[in-house]
Structure 1
Amino acid sequence: MFNLKNKVLFVLLIILILSSLFSANILAQDINFENNGELAEPESQLNASIIFIMLLIAVLVTLFIWEPMPISMLAVLVPIALAFFINLSNMTVEEALSGFGNSATITVMSMFVFSAGIQRSGAVQLLGDKISKITGSNPRRQIALISALTGSTSGFINNTPVVAALIPMVRELGRKTKVSPSKLLIPLSYTAMLGGTVTLIGTSTNLLASEVSDRIIGHPFHLFEFTGLGIIVLFIGVFYLLTIGYKLIPARLDVESNLTDEYEMRDYLTEVLIGEDCVYVGKSVAEIEADKELDYDIIRIIRNGKQFMEPLNAKTIRPGDHLIIRAKQETLLELVKNKGMTTMAELIVNGKSIEQPLKGEILVEIVVPAHSLMVNKTMEEINLLQRYDCNVLALRRGEEITHQKMTDYRFKAGDLILMLVTENTLERMRANSNFIIDREYDPNFFDRKKMYISIAILAYFIITVAFNLLPVAIAALSGAFMMVLSGCINKKEFFSAIDWEVYFLLSGLIPMGLAIEKSGTASYLAAQILNLSSLMPPIFIMMLIYLITSLMANIIGNNASVLLMLPIAIGTAQQLGVNPFAFVLTTTFAASAAFASPVGYQTNLMVYSSGGFKFKDFIVVGAPLQLILTVVVPLLIRLFWGF
């Protein structure tokens, strides 16, 4: 997905920006020297602590880009390093571990439970169904209403489950109205990201930024502190998607295609007849699977008109059996030539026969979420086929489709898996947070009672936070508990709803932000940026910080970028003598602007494979919007909050 070429290009882009910044910094120093006759000393001198923190940041960013292991595990290295080198980090052990019990971390985890309760009531799908009936076949009207729904709901519940619930609806809407689903999926993701900037609780980025802002300048975010700005930015994004963006979004998925066409299965699924002299006669499927030399899978057995599905391992092959197998043409020819099988030319499996499978057997697409235990593992390592009695037909990562050597395939977040499963398996997968059922849209799937209760609990949370009746973390935690107490989710779902990857990511990175501040690194870097003030006014420095933060968000994610950049942005504002809160807001909005990469934000990952996109599609569509907001957002913040 994020291959070596893309990684190198992003790194080179960051290096180019930083080198330009360095060159401008040197030029500014020269100008200051010529004007004043001497070079002004920066407010913070380089020392061992600053060098250590800067090296730690460089190592961390490099590891995040190359991702030798999940970034949540990499983040845990931060408190370890800070505690191990206490003298260099200027941190105590308690401060190094402060992220694990931080109020922002607790609030973010509680919001996952809120989102799960509302999503599992079917409320989001119900709203999506209403929209699909209004839009008709006008794609721009579809985008406008999808954006209105996604942007408004993402302001109050986590945008990841919102997108997960709406992807099937959007794809079904596209197929019904003859609009490529690809045209609708990028707007779904982008407006979910923009909707998260409308309120304090819209995204974990806002909650983290509020905590940092409170700690450094004593100004936490109120619930609707920047709602006006967020709504304007959302409207700008929607307008862009309806005009320029719509023309740039490619129609990667064919409107008329079915699942077998989308996954190019026609050349891989074939029905064969077992002859009397077939070497497999008398052997069980398990024995055949254990000894097979070629890459193929037995999907179904047909015997005397009766069809057998998973589990097949105990079935013994008999003469006259028909097998539906998954194999490429070269493998099929080898089986026919050497194993005693005969192809049934008139019975080659087509899309209709697979998409209308046996009673009790269902064709589904599964999305691998970022927190899934499947990430960085193979099917064999997680025992997927045996554990879930399923057949994997194909895999998709962006535009790339895999049919062969799938047992060696190492899953990444956002991957799509085409499966034949039983109804029992599907129920198990629905209840398992390691899977997202992509092509499963049931507009009647909602519980009215749970819907009302979950929305009432969300209203309780909003009211208590808006009127400062309770601290945000306590209001969120009590609301999450009420979700379980009311039966909106059960106690098992409470823990499965929490994204533990995010928990460890935040817990590891929050102390990093504190270390940047306490070690003097923020002041030192701010002093370097301050030299640019002779070349450009503060508003352009604010735009530069927005640009750097948003580029970092495309590479290492929104939460990591806001925690690393906020202390530097605040330090810059303080040394410039301007309103630091304006720079806080700039950095916060920039961290949620990872439009130019499918890996910078989880909602982009979710639509990346579902829409069949190429990596470059996000650069082509997202980069112009990112540049527009780089100019517009700082100007609006300057207008509303002043310097």
Structure 2
Amino acid sequence: MDVIEQALDSQSAWVGLLVLIGLFVLFISEKLPPVIIAVIGAAAMLILGYLPREDMEQVFANPAPITIAAMFVLSGALIRTGVVEALASAAERRAEGRPTRSIGEVLGGAFFASSIVNNTPVVIVLVPIMRRIAAVAGTTAQRLLIPLSYLSIMGGTLTLIGTSTNLLVDGVAQRAGQPAFGIFELTAVGLVAASAGMILMLLTGWFLLPKRSKEDMDPRPVEERFLSELAIDEYHPDLGKFYAETGEFARSGIRPIALKRGGELIRHGIDRLLVEVGDRLVLAADEAELLSLEETYGLGVGVANRPLPPAETDRIVTASIAPTHPAIGRNLSQIPFLTRTNARVLGLMRSRHMPGPTLGEIKLRAADNLLIKGGPACIAAIEANVNLIAIEEAEVRPYRRLRAPIAVGTMLSIVTLAALGVWTIELLAIVGVAVVLATRCIDPEEAWKAIDGNVIVLIFGMLGVGVGLQKAGTVDLIVEAVLPFLTSASPLLLLILIYALTSVLTELVTNNAVAVIMTPIVLTLAEQLGIDPRPLLFTVMFAASASFATPIGYQTNTIVYAAGGYRFADFLKIGLPMNIVVGLVTCWAIDRMV
């Protein structure tokens, strides 16, 4: 046993290198989720004795994961209050008149939004918008979704808070005694790099982006929405206005379909009609918008035979029609549980098809999905109904639009105060979380769900691996091996070599893991060469974020990879030139500006 311990101590640098190589092999093989691999790496360092308890405790004191978690919550508050959706709705409305110009506006909006908001939810929200704009513009979404991901990635490099990678490199560097980065310290270089990427996409996108026809794409529908109805009563706030001026016509998550006035069903020109008492607006809405309508208009949404006034004990559930349901083929308004209970059907969704003509007149089919609201006894009866299946509590929440100014003001205050150096970004982010929670911009359970736990645990795990590699001497071993090749290199060539290594690793391994490994390496390298480490840290930040060549190198690439029905080669074809051009321009900009 003593012999093994002595070997581990005397050859610690090489043992650490073997652990590092093993982790990279596991990352590349993708046989385990990245978060599990990171935890395995940290555990290995603990078992080998390269990560003492006091150092492991310091890992959890790193400000980067705390700041990243706080930014997840703040991004969730912007989504919960409808801020992101409102911006997307504005872009979609403009697309109807000038689709080509609107494409540029949405892509530009994604670019700048990603500099202050986590780019993953931005892309998730904008994917269906881009697909609808593509249909209006007469093109395919495949021509637009890769640029959407790339611009969101480049937007994230503009500020310290734009991507978790920047915050992570900053946190590791601060622990090593380096001064903190300013929130806009990266902006000048980021704009130059992004400009190069945009120019390349404009010049080569026509040739390098996929040109497959719409028939070759994923046949799934652009959206899944519930058909519902909104009854206009004497309390409706928009009485006397044109329907085009109402909120139901202004939001991307709602699509008016028809207007039932008297015995007539009007399908065209609804926006030019005045809002009148007794109208029933037939609309298609996503779940969040439908619940927002229900919260605003109450009993006026959906259909019911004998609804009761809303109560705090009411619940909202989703349920599917079983193949054995006796009401299949009959109108929704005739479904038995509506007759027996006080249930109210808020909407009905049918896969790959919008039913109609109105909610109550829908002929039921097996697998139709209902959104139902009712009291405890009503929901209990629904849950006991053998003809209804897949009954679940609705997880989507209505937007809290009245609190949107608070969420926006909080985010802007954080950015402004951090830029002025009033307080550190991690402390401002924590205070910001307290504000959005205290003002109920977002509920606690939603806030914790907004935090990507896999990302946070992966970061903690890799921070532990990074500390272990330094304690084992592996970082010094790597630096000593490459130092002879870099001693005579010019500053620009040194940046290019570091960028190339970081970029290649990022395409194969998760970007946060690469950032944790490369940061102590470049810090030690700068110390050995006797140069300022700041340009090298800049290089790691940009190279670990600007991942274009594969759909697995960055989260937003993975999102559009699935949504656009892409092939792996589609990313390689345009992403490889993007990696090279953006990388060279970034290194040149860092060499000149930092």
Same-fold status (TM-score > 0.5): yes
- Aligned residue in 2 for 1:357: 355
Partner of 2:481: 528
Is residue 2:394 matched to residue 1:428? Answer: yes
1:536-562 deviation line (CA, Å, top 9, x unaligned): 433223211101111111121211111
State the partner residue of 2:320: 310
The 3 A distance-change label for structure 1 pair 317 and 191 is closer
Q: Distance in 2 between matches of 1:590 and 1:563?
A: 13
Picking from 23, 32, 35, the partner of 1:72 is 35
Equivalent of residue 48 in structure 2, options 71, 80, 85: 85
Counterpart of 1:50 in structure 2 is 13
Percent of matched pairs sharing the same residue: 30
Structure-2 separation of matches of 1:257 and 1:623: 23
Report the AA paired with residue 171 of structure 2: E
Deviation at 1:136, TM superposition (A): 6.3
Secondary structure at the aligned position of 2:60 is classed as helix
Between the aligned partners of 2:215 and 2:368, the Cα distance in structure 1 is 18
What is the one-letter code of the residue matched to 1:580? P
**What is the match of residue 444 of structure 2?**
491
1:475 is the counterpart of 2:428: yes
Aligned equivalent of 2:142? 182
Deviation of 1:313 (Å): 6.3
Q: Residue 26 of structure 2 aligns to which amino acid in structure 1?
A: L
Please tell me the residue identity of whatever aligns with 2:572.
Answer: I
Q: Alpha carbons of 1:137 and 1:316: their partners in 2 closer, same or farther (altered >3 Å)?
A: closer
**1:599–1:226: structure 2 CA closer, same or farther, 3 Å change rule?**
same
The verdict on how the C-alpha distance between 1:620 and 1:139 changes in structure 2, with shifts beyond 3 A counting, is farther
Q: Does 1:191 align with 2:154?
A: no
- Following superposition, the deviation at residue 131 of structure 1 comes to 2.9
Partner of residue 544, structure 1: 497
Matched AA of 1:70: P
Partner of 1:130: 90
| Mapping of residues 216-615 of structure 1, within 5 Å | 216-252=176-212, 254=214, 259=219, 310-312=320-322, 315=325, 354-357=352-355, 359=359, 389=389, 428-431=394-397, 447-533=400-486, 536-615=489-568
SS at match of 1:310: strand
The answer to whether the aligner puts 1:121 opposite 2:121 as a matched pair is: no
Q: Which amino acid in 2 is paired with 1:199?
A: T
CA distance in structure 1 between the aligned counterparts of 2:62 and 2:457, rounded to whole angstroms? 12
**What is the aligned counterpart of 1:173 among 111, 114, 133?**
133
Question: Scaled by the length of structure 2, what TM-score is found?
Answer: 0.69
1:242-281 Cα shifts (integer Å, max 9, x gaps): 2213431113461898956899xxxxxxxxxxxxxxxxxx
**Contact 1:550/1:594 (<8 A) preserved:** yes
User: 1:495 is matched by which residue type in structure 2?
Assistant: W
Partner Cα distance (1:593, 1:467) in 2: 27
More off after superposition, 519-528 vs 583-592:
519-528
Unaligned runs of 5+ in 2: 1-8, 224-318, 331-349, 370-385
> Contact between 2:34 and 2:510, CA under 8 Å: does it hold in 1?
no
CA offset digits 1:103-157 (Å, max 9, x no partner):
1111100100000111122222222233344456877645532331011111111
**Deviation for aligned residue 1:78:** 2.4
- Cα deviation code 1:524-544 (max 9, x no counterpart): 212222211366433223211
The C-alpha deviation readout for 1:511-532, integer Å capped at 9, x for no partner, is: 2222333333222212222211
Q: Give, in angstroms, the shift of residue 492 of structure 1.
A: 1.4
Instruction: State the distance in 2 between where 1:253 and 1:123 align.
Output: 34
Query: Which whole-Å deviations, capped at 9, do the CAs of 1:263-300 have from their partners, x for residues lacking one?
Result: 9xxxxxxxxxxxxxxxxxxxxxxxxxxxxxxxxxxxxx
CA distance in 1, matches of 2:218, 2:521: 50
Task: Quote the Cα distance in structure 1 between the aligned partners of 2:456 and 2:193.
Answer: 28
What amino acid does structure 2 have at the position aligned with 1:355?
H
Contact kept? 2:321, 2:368, Cα under 8 Å: no
Equivalent AA in structure 1 for residue 30 of structure 2:
E
Does the CA contact (< 8 Å) of 1:98 and 1:510 recur in 2? no
- Partners of 1:120 and 1:630 in 2: CA distance: 36
Aligned AA (1:594): S
Pick one of 111, 126, 146 that aligns with 2:106.
146
Distance 1:253 1:219, change over 3 A: farther
Partner of 1:110: 70
CA displacement at 1:47 relative to structure 2: 5.6
Corresponding pairs, count: 449
Mapped contact 1:253–1:612 kept (Cα < 8 A):
no
> Contact 2:99–2:136 (CA<8 Å) still a contact in 1?
no
CA deviations 1:185-220 (Å, max 9, x no partner) are 111111111111111111110101101222225222
C-alpha distance in 2, partners of 1:217/1:535? 27
Distance change >3 Å, CA 189–CA 354, structure 1 → 2: closer
Is contact 1:538–1:576 with CA below 8 Å preserved after alignment? no
Q: Is the 8 A contact 2:503 2:546 kept in 1?
A: yes
RMSD over aligned Cα atoms: 3.2
Q: CA, structure 1 residues 167+317, in 2 after alignment: closer, same or farther (shift >3 Å)?
A: closer
- Whether the 8 Å contact between 1:597 and 1:619 is mirrored in structure 2 is yes
Q: Whole-Å Cα distance in 1 between the matches of residues 538 and 218 of structure 2?
A: 45
How far apart are the structure 2 equivalents of 1:138 and 1:590?
Answer: 36
Summarize deviations over 1:64-90 as a string: whole Å, max 9, x none: 12233321122112221121111xx2x
CA offset digits 1:11-62 (Å, max 9, x no partner): xxxxxxxxxxxxxxxxxxxxxxxxxxxxxxxxxxx96121121111111111
Distance in 2 of aligned mates of 1:100 and 1:481: 21
Unaligned stretches of 5+ residues in structure 1: 1-45, 264-308, 322-351, 366-385, 391-423, 432-444
Deviations 1:466-496 (A, max 9, x none): 2333332221112112111111111210111
Distance 2:406 2:196 in 1: 34
Stretch deviating more after TM superposition (149-158 or 133-142):
133-142
- Residue 60 in 1 paired to residue 3 in 2? no
1:22 aligned residue:
none
Q: Does 1:626 align with 2:575?
A: no
